Chain A
Amino acid sequence: QQQVKQSPQSLIVQKGGISIINCAYENTAFDYFPWYQQFPGKGPALLIAIRPDVSEKKEGRFTISFNKSAKQFSLHIMDSQPGDSATYFCAARHLGGYSSASKIIFGSGTRLSIRP
């Protein structure tokens, strides 16, 4: 199954709070898990990414937690700010084989709103 399931669909968090977005996958051929951030009218942009051989990666206020056995990963935004209001997509890179190329598959997105 080349799918990445993302939840929740939308999320409202108070300024200063923690935003948590969850994703799950089935295919063990995924080897790289990026998160993309998209503002209205713009294309998605890479926010942070993790490989399955580590359980956590932190960059500033953004942290990815990865649970390989459960096939789940999540994005945590600490001290959420109004400027973080955007749509967030988890994604996974599917390894290609002899007859197919690697490709990035996206989740359905989470619309995050931070209340001032």
Chain B
Amino acid sequence: EAGVAQSPRYKIIEKRQSVAFWCNPISGHATLYWYQQILGQGPKLLIQFQNNGVVDDSQLPKDRFSAERLKGVDSTLKIQPAKLEDSAVYLCASSLALSGSKTGELFFGEGSRLTVL
């Protein structure tokens, strides 16, 4: 079974530039997440989709970050304009479900490492 695919793996940009990350979840997984992992910290949830609808974006800096999940499959996360503090690994994860009796194990991609200079 193919895992969660993310691209690009690495990206270096100047501050105030824009960047986009792509994620393709495991086939059949309805829930998709974008986490931000700053060096030395735990993953922080940015946005959560259920199919193609947003169910939680409370920690997404909406003035500069945006995300979409067209057709309920793959997703893109965009940052515009980037700031120095956006340097982090952006992790995409997917799960079958997260509520009710299902445990909702998260399957993570390898991440996209962003460096903002």
Shortest C-beta distance, B96 to chain A (Å), equals 13
Q: Does B68 contact A (CB under 8 A)?
A: no
Shortest C-beta distance, B8 to chain A (Å), equals 14
Q: Which of B13-21, B69-77, B107-115 contacts A (4 or more CB under 8 A)?
A: B107-115
Shortest C-beta distance, B22 to chain A (Å), equals 15
Residues of B within 8 A of A (CB): 4, 35, 40-45, 48, 50, 55-56, 91, 93, 98-99, 103-111
The 10 closest A-B pairs by CB, nearest first: A43-B108, A106-B42, A101-B55, A102-B98, A102-B99, A108-B42, A106-B43, A46-B105, A109-B42, A44-B108
How far apart sit A96 and B99, CA to CA, in the bound complex (Å)?
A: 8
Shortest C-beta distance, B23 to chain A (Å), equals 11
Q: Does A49 contact B (CB under 8 A)?
A: yes
Q: A102-B98, A104-B98 known; A46 and B106 CB under 8 Å?
A: yes
**Could you tell me if A101 and B4 are in contact, using CB atoms closer than 8 angstroms?**
no
Bitwise interface map of A from 12 to 50 toward B, beta carbon under 8 Å scored 1, else 0: 000000000000000000001010100001111110010
Total cross-chain contacts (CB, 8 A): 64
Which of B4, B43, B48, B55 has the largest count of A CB atoms less than 10 A from its CB? B43
**Could you tell me if A104 and B106 are in contact, using CB atoms closer than 8 angstroms?**
yes
Shortest C-beta distance, B102 to chain A (Å), equals 10
Taking CB atoms, residues of chain B closer than 8 Å to A68 are none
Shortest C-beta distance, B83 to chain A (Å), equals 22
